[in-house]
Amino acid sequence: MSYIVKTEKLSKQMHKQTIISEVNMHVRQGEIYGLVGPNGAGKTSLFQLLIGLWKPSHGEIEIFGERITNSSYSYLQQIGSMIGEPVFYENRTGLENLQMHLDYMGFYDQQLITETIHRVEIEDQVQKPVRNYSAGVKQRLGLVRAIALKPKLLILDEPSNNMDPMGIKMLRQIIWNLNQQYGITVIISSHHMEELEQLADTVGVLRDGKLTEEVSVRDIKEDYFRYTELTIDSSSQVAHLLENELQLSNYRVISDSTIRIYASTIPTHEIVKMLVTHGIAIHEIKETQDTLEDYILQTYKGGDDI
Amino acid sequence: MIQLLKMDIKKLHWKSYLFGFVIINFAISSLVWLIVQEINPTDLQAVYPNYPDYHFIYRFILTIVRISTTIVAAIFMVDLIINEYKSKTITVLFLYPLPRWKLLLSKILLVGVLTTIFFLATIVVSFSLIYMANLYSPIITEQITSFLSLRLYLEVFIQAMVTAIIGFIPLFFGMVRKSVIATMVAAVVLAFNVYLPIHAPNNVEVYGSRPLISIILVVAGVAVVCRFIYRTSQRDIV
């Protein structure tokens, strides 16, 4: 399997505190990888390590097949990133900042930024000094800087922060296009789960600096998201019957009178038939789908149980 | 490296620097000229028998220029280094596919070159202004040609380099908390403590004039630069 980003037991300690702990991350070439986790889970810290602003305390990072050391820098040529609130030379105009970016990167094709400015819809702002920008416009300018040169790997940390709904929609479209048209691999963190659900191929769940899960969104959609919800009189009795009569274990008791059966291979009518024959009164049957958000929340709850 | 220097040159506030340069030169030459006019020659001749001569003027200007150059070097360091940390734009720079040491060395070289140019230009301009003032209202009677020599030019150039290198010492204090104030205070303290006693305009050489002290300070300046580049290349950028 070809991974564009791979970390092995990646750890970071700062001020005697463990911020990132033994993270084994695997990002495939050409995919959109969503990184989720509560505030303070270590998402931004993990990104800082990937782009070399922070140096790992332990473990290894491999990007584009190259092992990253404290003095590596050439891999940054192929990475576009926006981590945290984007930073600019505030007294310069947006255009001057972008021009500076081109100069440092060794690109001289002005067209690259002109096109991206148009795409991100900030043509009327780029001639003004950055200090006059709103947080949302700054975020858009940061996006232009990250994507203008069509990097192989794009790392975006909470890119929709400060953006209005139109901006978020545009952002989603841009990420999707970059990924589909140019095969750009994207690692994105976001609090907007529905955004990730629509975009991401893989989701990594980060909690207290640990990558607790790394799952394919398609797989969890098949295995987890789809479920049948039954409203009955006694959940424990139904759970007993499901296990013993149909050998079903992929269910969750939601309340005394509600039970969910996930991705069952047995058709719903067979389940209903079995329950009715055992004298169970079924008050309601609901075929529905969980969201990624539900899945992540369940994962967190699982962690709490531990 | 040339490209990096060009990029850093674009970030500087040239108009303010030029304005400052003009003010400093007029201030230095006016101050020296006023003091020279106020001094009663016979009073000073007790400790400085050749007074008034161009050598006296030169030593006087040299002292003030060394002090102001050290402070100006700190201003350049604040603009090119400390402020990049304070505004976090340094994180943008370190995301470019360039070795960190190269990005930092470019800044250090630019500070060094600008400081040296400031020193040389200030000596030349201030001295020329006093020379012109002396043409209109002569106090010094010796011929300028008897003062100017290749040895003098060489000395001025070496003084410029030495002052520029010593001027990096405040960077050590400024980088501890990425503080503009710490950099400026360190520069002022350094300048007044080291240079004021060295070139006091008399023939009695005081402790600071000993080459050993200059050599130690130059070594310290080089050490500060090396430490800065090495540590920044290896450490987290927070």
* pLDDT, tens digit, 9 for 90 and up, residues A246-298: 888 888 888 888 998 876 778 888 888 889 998 888 999 887 766 777 777 76
* Winning range, highest mean pLDDT, from A149-153, A219-223, B42-46: A149-153
Distance of CA A47 to the CA centre of its chain: 12
pLDDT value of position B207: 46
Q: How confident is the model at residue B179, as a pLDDT?
A: 92
Q: Tell me which fold the domain A3-208 belongs to.
A: Rossmann fold (3.40.50)
- Examine the pLDDT at B183 and tell me if it is beyond 60: yes
pTM of the complete model: 0.82
Q: Note the pLDDT of residue A305.
A: 37
Whole-number pLDDT of residue A128: 94
The residue of chain B nearest to residue A89, with distances taken between CA atoms, is B89
Q: Encode pLDDT of A207-247 as tens digits.
A: 889 988 888 887 776 666 677 888 998 888 899 998 888 88
What's chain A look like in SS3? CCEEEEEEEEEEEECCEEEEEEECCEEECCCEEEEECCCCCCHHHHHHHHCCCCCCCEEEEEECCEECCCCCCHHHHHEEEECCCCCCCCCCEHHHHHHHHHHHHCCCCHHHHHHHHHHHCCCCCCCCEHHHCCHHHHHHHHHHHHHCCCCCEEEEECCCCCCCHHHHHHHHHHHHHHHHHHCCEEEEECCCHHHHHHHCCEEEEEECCEEEEEEEHHHHHHHHHEEEEEECCCHHHHHHHHHHHHCCCCEEEEECCEEEEECCCCCHHHHHHHHHHCCCCCCEEEEEECCHHHHHHHHHHHHHHC
Nearest-CB residue to A105 (from B10, B96, B99):
B96
pLDDT category at A300 given cuts 50, 70, 90 is: low
Residue of chain B nearest A99, judged by CA positions:
B7
Position A249 scores a pLDDT of 81
Whole-number pLDDT of residue A223:
63
What is the domain class of A221-305 according to CATH?
A: alpha beta
- 10 Å CB burial of residue A161 (0-12, 13-18, 19+) is middle
Q: Examine the pLDDT at A18 and tell me if it is beyond 80.
A: yes
According to the per-residue pLDDT averaged within each range, which of B38-42, B51-55, B132-136, B221-225 is highest? Answer: B221-225
Residue B197 scores a pLDDT above 70: no
- Domain count across chain B: 1
Host H or E run for residue B208: none
pLDDT band at residue A169 under the 50/70/90 scheme: confident
**Centroid of chain to Cα A190:** 6
Residue-level pLDDT at A301: 63
Average pLDDT over residues B70-88: 94
Q: Determine whether the interchain pair B236/A55 forms a contact, defined as Cβ–Cβ distance below 8 Å.
A: yes
Percent of chain A whose pLDDT exceeds 70: 93
- pLDDT-based confidence at residue B208 (cuts at 50, 70, 90): very low
Note the pLDDT of residue A141.
93
Average pLDDT score, chain A? 87
Task: Provide the shortest C-alpha distance from residue A103 to chain B (in Å).
Answer: 8
- Which chain A residue has the Cα nearest residue B233? A71
Q: Where in chain A is the domain with CATH 3.30.70.100?
A: 221-305
Taking the CA atoms of chain A, what radius of gyration do you get in angstroms? 23
pLDDT at B199: 47
Cβ–Cβ gap B7/A100 under 8 Å = yes
Least reliable range by pLDDT among A148-152, B17-21, B58-62: B58-62
Residue from the list B88, B94, B234 with its beta carbon closest to the beta carbon of A70: B234
Query: How many angstroms separate the CA of residue A68 from the nearest CA in chain B?
Result: 13
Q: Which comes out higher in pLDDT, residue A153 or A268?
A: A153
pLDDT per position as a tens digit, B148-173 = 788 889 989 999 999 999 999 999 99
Residues of A in contact with B3 (CB under 8 A): 103
Instruction: Report CB contact under 8 Å: A104, B93.
Output: yes
Write down the residue that tokens 């404290």 correspond to.
Answer: A70
Gap between the Cα atoms of A117 and A164, Å rounded: 17
* Boundaries of domain holding B66: 2-234
Q: What's the Cα-to-Cα distance from B217 to each of B156, B166, B170, B206, rounded to whole Å?
A: 18, 6, 12, 16
Looking at the predicted complex, does its ipTM rise above 0.85? no
B window 79-118, beta carbon within 8 A of A:
87-89, 91-100
Instruction: Evaluate if residue A304 carries a pLDDT over 60.
Output: no
